[in-house]
Amino acid sequence: MGKVVGFELNSQDAEKASKFYSTVFGWEVGENQWGYREVTTGGISGGIAQGPNDYPHGTRIQIEVNSIDEVIAKAKDYGALIVREKMEFDDFFLAYLVDPTGLGLGLIQKK
């Protein structure tokens, strides 16, 4: 079962969004790294990102999966659009897709 492990808020003004959420809700917002700021909420954690052109605004949940390649293939079969193919980071792989109804989400596979 894929479990929700985080979220990402995308904004064209990530600095302003970071100030808003830290001031209004008391979230701890980390330093900008690669256009992404880690966020600690006291509940599920996530991040605030400079939204890319293909997903400039909005919220994406991040779902942890055992095999990102298998999930991407299955998602395509069921009408998903792959926005970012599998990317490799130090401790995990990450991909972004849009489901058949237009909702964006991220897939994470730990190494």
Residue 43 sits in the same domain as residue 78: no
Q: Which of 105, 11, 104 is nearest to 49 (CA)?
A: 11
- Token pair in block for residue 100: 């058949």
Residue 39 sits in the same domain as residue 81: no
What's the average pLDDT block by block, 10 residues per block, for the chain (111 residues)? 91 92 94 93 92 77 96 96 94 94 92 96
What is the C-alpha separation between 76 and 63, in angstroms, rounded?
Answer: 16
Q: Which of 53, 7, 46, 54 is nearest to 29 (CA)?
A: 46
Residue type, 28: E
Q: Give a yes or no: residue 2 inside a domain.
A: no
Domain boundary among 55, 78, 93: 55
Q: Give a yes or no: residue 86 inside a domain.
A: yes
pLDDT attached to residue 84: 92
Can you give the residue range of the structural domain that contains 83?
65-111
Output the domain CATH number for residue 14.
3.10.180.10
Sequential DSSP letters for 25-45: H--EE---BTTEEEEE-SSS-
Residue 110 sits in the same domain as residue 85: yes
Q: Give a yes or no: residue 3 inside a domain.
A: no
pTM of the complete model: 0.83
